[in-house]
A and B are shown apart, each in its own frame.
Chain A
């Protein structure tokens, strides 16, 4: 009888009211302009709002909002490695933890991390690691914690952006920022920075070229540090998709730079006479 005895328990089963809705949900348009007015087949990312250094307890933190997707990232460290047996004398460790708040999705999530959260954590770690100068932090670890407050699509891409911003805010040495962007391919057309509905809604018209793609990109080095795709896409579509994503990243770049500059200016001692 595996029960969660570390939380206040509710009934054994409960169902989302939307399962009993009388009217079917509005379908996401598959052609023409997107539900939020953005353009299809164009590098039309949602406007993002970013801010650094919000959390007083963390070494570095960042908050990102893209459409309704809201997530927060805190960075702690570098500090002594917790697991002594894994201490690396030459190189630091990067640990990532990504979780969804239970109220972040349309369906209430459980507090216990599912496989998706762990998958995302791992992806995040692999995308960030190449950009960090971990050799400068021997025997220590850097912790990256991400919480998704509201999931409205492209969570992983924004988590990557947010985490790299938080790392920069924490003053962890990096080769470059890491920016994330994702697309959703649906037959011949694609949508950039898909919303939750667009991510989970695929037409059955063509079984070919269905899938999602998330790219983590180092903009000034022009290198890709992480790539995740699911579904089936042809080689050409995939290459084109990667190109589209990097383009999307470039759009984010100035906003991120500027947020970082703002945080640095704020953190720097005032150029006062004293």
Chain B
């Protein structure tokens, strides 16, 4: 058994978010975690291509754009993770036979990228005003060589770590919506990381709430 993780590592870096920053998309947001930064845009509900049409719900497409070069297999796998998470959160059956497109543009990668994609995606979906069952947020945990948990690791910390886990936590029951891991780890370590992520999600959801409250403070 590992000792209780050192508290100094269990922090979330500076968070920042700006919504509606792009004029063309129906919803947009940029999300910053430390130096990691992602911009997200949502189009839809709009007309769908016949080949992608689903008769009882909307078709959601997620596109991840890397900074240099074309998207590769890695981006495709991340797209799948983000898409299936969003699909579970969105009430897609309200918009049958229509298309939703979520584009995520990487601006800078300094660790915890997948969680930043998820957070940016959630903020953009909110900005687009799409009906959702719940919100979700992404938390990345790294386990370093000493067995300590580091939340929201930087790229350097990720490199040093022995295992890396990213979870998407839902806002209603704080359960795991998505999980993506790297490296090998014990069951205990995973359960601890889940528990830490659930705690961290409280902070992120509070941040969501604060930023949305601030945004609508004049209209309310």
Contact = CB atoms under 8 A, between A and B. Distances in A.
A and B touch in their complex, CB below 8 angstroms: yes
A31 interface: no
A265 interface: no
A22 interface: no
Contacts of A6: 73, 76
Contacts of A8: 73
Interface in A1-48: 3, 5-9
A98 B177 CA distance: 40
A88 B73 CA distance: 38
Given A5-B69, A6-B73, A9-B73, 5 more contacts: A3-B70, A5-B70, A5-B71, A6-B76, A9-B72
Interface string B55-78: 000000000000001111100100
Contacts of B70: 3, 5
Contacts of B69: 5
A74 to B, nearest CB: 22
A3 B68 CA distance: 14
Interface string B118-137: 00000000000000000000
- Determine chain A's interface SS by DSSP, over half rule: loop
Interface in A138-178: none
B12 to A, nearest CB: 33
Interface of A: 3, 5-9
A64 B91 CA distance: 49
Interface of B: 69-73, 76
Contacts of B76: 6
A6 B76 CA distance: 8
* A3, A5, A7, A9 interface centre (most CB from chain B within 10 Å): A5
B93 to A, nearest CB: 26
Contacts of A9: 72-73
12 contacts: A3-B70, A5-B69, A5-B70, A5-B71, A5-B72, A5-B73, A6-B73, A6-B76, A7-B73, A8-B73, A9-B72, A9-B73
B63 to A, nearest CB: 13
A83 B71 CA distance: 29
Nearest to A84: B50
Contacts of A3: 70
Report, nearest first, the 10 A-B pairs whose CB atoms are least far apart: A5-B72, A5-B70, A8-B73, A7-B73, A5-B71, A6-B73, A5-B73, A9-B72, A6-B76, A3-B70
Contacts of B72: 5, 9
* A6, A7, A9 interface centre (most CB from chain B within 10 Å): A6
Nearest to B70: A5
Nearest to A1: B69
Contacts of A7: 73
A5 B72 CA distance: 5
A7 B71 CA distance: 11
A175 B76 CA distance: 46
Nearest to A6: B73
Nearest to B72: A5
A8 B72 CA distance: 8
A9 B71 CA distance: 13
B215 to A, nearest CB: 37
A237 B73 CA distance: 52
A6 B72 CA distance: 6
* B70, B71, B72 interface centre (most CB from chain A within 10 Å): B72
B67 to A, nearest CB: 15
B77 to A, nearest CB: 10
A8 B76 CA distance: 11
A7 B72 CA distance: 7
B119 to A, nearest CB: 26
A246 to B, nearest CB: 44
Nearest to B73: A8
A6 B73 CA distance: 5
B203 to A, nearest CB: 36
A44 to B, nearest CB: 47
A187 B153 CA distance: 71
Nearest to A8: B73
Nearest to A9: B72
A257 B72 CA distance: 47
B106 to A, nearest CB: 15
